[in-house]
Every structure is written in C-alpha cells, then in structure tokens.
Amino acid sequence: MTRTRNHTTGTIAGGKGIGVAPGAKWAACRGCASSACWQSDLLACGDFFACPTRADGSSPDCSKAPNVVSNSWGGGRGNTWYNDVIEGWHAAKIIPLFSNGNSGPSCNTANSPADQNAKEFLLGQPIKPGVHWKDLRRNP
C-alpha cells in the first residue's frame, strides 16, 4: 500500500484516537499499479466492492459489500466511464468517496470521477478551517 492509501485508510479506520470510524473493518483492491491506474483494473475493483469474492473471483457474497468505498484516484475531466460503477454502488446502498485532486484552487479543477456526480462525497484537504491547500481542486 502506498503512503496515500495508508493515509486514506487511516483517516477512515484508524485507531487510538485517529480516524472517523476507528476499528472499522477494511478491505483493499489494487486498482492502480505503481505507475498507472488502468480502467479495467479500476472497473474490476468497483465490481469487487459491489459484491466481494475470493481472490480468485469465486464465491461472490454481496452481503459482504461495504457501507463506504474510498477512492484515492482520479484523472482528467469530464470522463464518464466510471459512472456505472458509482450508480451500482448507490443501488447497493454503498457510499462512494472520491479524492478531489491536488491541482486547484480554481473552480472546475476536480478530476473525474469526482467532477461527475453530485451523489458522491468529494474529499479535499483544508489547511485549517476556512483556509484550503493552494492545490486543492474544486468543482463549481
């Protein structure tokens, strides 16, 4: 797991006073290789979280789907190829979280899929209340 994924997992499910849901169970799916995030891998991970399976793809058990899926990836603007996964998660009562990106601070600088759908939660990093990191991306 990379530093970013360690950070986002700890922010969600940390312990000892850290995290918004300390002690929560978590699972991971490698949607991004060390140098790229391929659409096929991200789509496969999206399907996995909608209905988890064993590592070999056998024994699907949709009752083990998570309540929340955190996605710390994105790229480009106006890309709709992940929207079906997001809609599937909504149908399964899964809350999608997406990073907003780090190339702001102007409006319309969020990456897809964070720029696509008002039904997802978008996360950015404020420096302190009312002050945002200069590179935080934004939607209108």
| pLDDT the model gives residue 27 | 86
Contacts of 62 (CB under 8 A, 6+ apart): 50, 51, 52, 92
Q: Where exactly are the structural domains of the chain?
A: 28-123
Task: Choose between 60 and 135: higher pLDDT.
Answer: 60
Asked whether the predicted pLDDT for residue 136 surpasses 50, the reply is no
- Tens of pLDDT, residues 50-89: 999 998 999 999 999 998 888 877 777 888 898 899 999 9
Output the 3-class SS for 31-91: CCCCCCCCHHHHHHHHHHHHCCCCCCCCCCCHHHCCCEEEECCCCCCCCCCCHHHHHHHHH
pLDDT over 80 (residue 133): no
Find the range with the poorest average confidence among 22-26, 95-99, 126-130: 126-130
